[in-house]
Amino acid sequence: MTICLVLGILVSNEIKPDLYLSFVILLGALVPFLILYFLLRKNLKLRLGFGVSSYLVAFTIGIALYALHSPKNQASHYSNSDYNSSEKSLVKGIISGKLKPNPYSYKYFMTVESVNQKETKGKLLLILNKKDAEKEFEIGDVILAHAMLKPIIRPHNPNQFDYAAYLEKKNVFHQLYLENKNYKVIAKEENLAFFLEKTRNKVVSFFENEALPTDRINIIKALFLGQRQNIEQETLDNYSKSGAIHILAISGLHIGILLYFFKALLKPLDRIRYGRIITPLLLLLILWSFALLSGLSASVVRAVTMFSFVSIGMYMNRETNIYNTLGSSILILLLFKPNFIFDVGFQLSYCAVFSIVTIQPLLSKLWIPKNKIIGYFYDIITVSFAAQLGVLPLSIYYFHQFPGLFFVTNLVIIPLLTLILVTGIATIILYTIGIYLSFLTKLLSEFIGFMNDYVKIVSSFEQFIIKDIPFNYYILLASLLAIVSVIIFVKKPTSNRIIMALITFFIFQISIISSMEFHKSQNEFIIFQYPKKTILASKKNNTIVLHSNDSLINSNYVIKNYIQSNFGAIDRISTLQNVYYINKRKILVIDEKGIYQLPVQPEIILLTQSPKINFERLLTDLKPEIIIADGSNYKNLIEDWQKTCQEKNIPFHSTSEKGYYRISLD
DSSP SS3 for 212: coil
Identify the band that residue 45 occupies on the pLDDT scale cut at 50, 70 and 90.
low
Identify the band that residue 44 occupies on the pLDDT scale cut at 50, 70 and 90.
low
pLDDT at 257: 86
DSSP assignment letter at 79: G
pLDDT at 35: 80
* CA pair distance 257, 406, nearest whole angstrom: 19
**Whether residue 49 has pLDDT greater than 80:** no
pLDDT at 452: 94
pLDDT at 556: 79
Which CATH topology does 78-189 take? Answer: OB fold (Dihydrolipoamide Acetyltransferase, E2P) (2.40.50)
* CA pair distance 428, 435, nearest whole angstrom: 10
pLDDT at 636: 94
**Whether residue 551 has pLDDT greater than 80:** no
* CA pair distance 108, 94, nearest whole angstrom: 10
Identify the band that residue 322 occupies on the pLDDT scale cut at 50, 70 and 90.
confident
**Whether residue 353 has pLDDT greater than 90:** no
Identify the band that residue 41 occupies on the pLDDT scale cut at 50, 70 and 90.
low
Q: Assign residue 586 a region: left if phi > 0, alpha if psi is -120 to 50, beta otherwise?
A: beta
pLDDT at 555: 75
Identify the band that residue 458 occupies on the pLDDT scale cut at 50, 70 and 90.
very high
Strands 88-98 and 402-403: unpaired
pLDDT at 310: 83
Give phi and psi for 583, each to the nearest 5.
50, 55
pLDDT at 108: 93
**Whether residue 43 has pLDDT greater than 80:** no
Strands 402-403 and 465-466: antiparallel
pLDDT at 360: 87
Average pLDDT (163-175) is 91
Amino acid identity, position 317: N
Average pLDDT (646-656) is 95
Identify the band that residue 329 occupies on the pLDDT scale cut at 50, 70 and 90.
confident
pLDDT at 500: 94
**Whether residue 408 has pLDDT greater than 90:** no
pTM of the model: 0.85
pLDDT digits (tens, 9 = 90+) for 594-628: 888 888 899 999 999 999 999 999 999 999 999 99
Return the exposure string of 201-238: e unless at least 16 CB atoms fall within 10 Å of the residue's CB, then b: eebbebbeebebeeebbbbbbbbbbbbbebbeeebeeb
Nearest of 431, 6, 471 to residue 208 by alpha carbon: 431
**Whether residue 568 has pLDDT greater than 80:** yes
**Whether residue 19 has pLDDT greater than 70:** yes
Average pLDDT (271-278) is 83
Average pLDDT (42-57) is 75
**Whether residue 143 has pLDDT greater than 90:** yes
Identify the band that residue 113 occupies on the pLDDT scale cut at 50, 70 and 90.
very high
Beta-carbon contacts of residue 53 (< 8 Å; ≥ 6 apart) = 29, 32, 33, 36
Nearest of 220, 200, 205, 202 to residue 443 by alpha carbon: 220
pLDDT at 46: 64
Identify the band that residue 538 occupies on the pLDDT scale cut at 50, 70 and 90.
very high
Which range scores top for mean pLDDT: 195-209, 298-312, 581-595?
581-595
Identify the band that residue 319 occupies on the pLDDT scale cut at 50, 70 and 90.
low
Q: What is the DSSP string of 314-378?
A: HTSSS---HHHHHHHHHHHHHHH-GGGGG-HHHHHHHHHHHHHHHHHHHHHTT---SSHHHHHHH
Residue 359 near residue 488, CB atoms below 8 Å: no
Q: Assign residue 122 a region: left if phi > 0, alpha if psi is -120 to 50, beta otherwise?
A: left
* CA pair distance 315, 481, nearest whole angstrom: 34
* CA pair distance 460, 630, nearest whole angstrom: 38
**Whether residue 311 has pLDDT greater than 90:** no
Average pLDDT (438-459) is 92
Domain spans, the chain: 2-69, 78-189, 230-466, 473-520, 524-664
pLDDT digits (tens, 9 = 90+) for 217-253: 999 998 888 888 888 889 999 988 888 888 888 888 8
